[in-house]
Amino acid sequence: MLSIINKIITLILVPIYFCTISPTYPFVVLFNQPKELVSLSENGVGSAEDPVYLTAHRGLHALAPENSLPSFEEAVNNGYYSAECDIQLTKDNKWVVIHNAEVDGRFCQYGKINELTLEELKTFSYMSGANVWKYKDSRIPTLEEYLDVFVGTETRPQIEIGIENYDLLYTIVDAINERGLADQAIVLTYNLKQLSMIHELNPDIELWYLVDEMTPEIIAEAKALGDNVWLSASYEKNTEENIKLCISEGINFSLFTVNSVEEAKKLYDMGVRYIETDILCN
């Protein structure tokens, strides 16, 4: 039944939704306006000699729908240090770039990612997101399509593994290796076992251990994996004491998600140089 509903949506409702003479179109444009980027350098945060390294959270979704190819292309075009994505597995074991395990309200169609094939997902349309009407033909990217965006660029692909899978981790590493991105890519996850397995498959790939709070125990776990491991931690859940502890321990880390100049300046003054953001730019 769901597949039939999705086909009706795809064939009938989506064309109406994006039709410029449709009564829905003005609302599509009104409620999906891009957000203005806020420059750190223009507000005295960072310098050319000592910059803030910015990660575009789910791509630069202030300008294009989150986790879409245009959002990653915008991150590259605007000179971001890295562009973070989230990956899930389809029913036919293909990695696709989407945050949730279920197709949510950002799309016109419905379903669980692990119950849909890649072919089915490639018919799904973005329903919301910045400038969505400009990208009405965009579809959920595969991991390979996402990685292709970064080949020959200085922006780093940053891949968050969104599910507890171990059998197919090698396919992530293979996709990175095939594009010559092992020294450029970042893989991050809350799962230490996944990080360890990625490290065994290719120790050149930089790993970020996703955590809420940075504690002495967490720092020790990250260090135990090797020198090529960072922490990626919640800004809201970490105190100044936590941050100073990481700096004193000499472990590299980034904080998510920082969306105001005041927050960025406070962190910069404390010695933090890597942050993830939705709207800040350099």
pLDDT tens digits along 226-244: 889 999 999 999 999 999 9
Confidence of residue 270 (pLDDT cuts 50, 70, 90): very high
Taking only the tens place, the pLDDT of each residue in 79-100 is 999 999 999 999 999 999 999 9
Average pLDDT over residues 206-223: 97
What's the pLDDT at 104?
84
Mean pLDDT value across the chain: 97
* pTM metric for this prediction: 0.97
Q: What number is the average pLDDT over the span 131-157? A: 98
Pick 2-281's CATH classification: 2.60.40.10, 3.20.20.190, 1.10.630.10, 2.30.38.10: 3.20.20.190
Would you list the domain boundaries of the chain? 2-281
User: Which tokens in the block code for residue 69?
Assistant: 């190819």
CA dihedral 148, 151, 153, 156 (to 10 degrees): 70
89: exposed, middle or buried (Cβ count in 10 Å: 0-12, 13-18, 19+): buried
| One-letter identity of residue 240 | E
Cα distances (angstroms) measured from residue 209 to each of 189, 201, 215, 216, 255:
6, 17, 13, 14, 12
Enumerate residues 6+ apart whose C-beta is below 8 A from 193.
Answer: 166
Distance CA 251, CA 228 (A): 10
**14-56 pLDDT, tens per residue?**
999 999 999 999 999 999 999 999 999 999 999 999 999 999 9
Pairing of strands 102-103, 111-112: antiparallel
For residue 247, pLDDT beyond 90? yes
pLDDT value at 1 more than 90: no
Please report, rounded to a whole number, the percentage of residues in the chain having pLDDT higher than 90: 96
Lowest model confidence (mean pLDDT) among 42-46, 64-68, 137-141, 223-227: 223-227
Question: Taking a C-beta distance cutoff of 8 angstroms, is the pair 94, 142 a contact?
Answer: yes
3-state helix, strand, coil in the chain (%, to 5): 35, 20, 45
H-helix or E-strand spanning residue 31: none
Other beta carbons within 10 Å of 197 = 14
Pairing of strands 156-161, 186-189: parallel
Q: Report yes or no: 91 and 2 within 8 Å, Cβ to Cβ.
A: no
Q: How far apart are CA 91 and CA 106, in angstroms?
A: 20
DSSP character for 239?
-
Q: What is the length of the chain? A: 282
Can you tell me the mean pLDDT for 149-160? 98
pLDDT of residue 111: 96
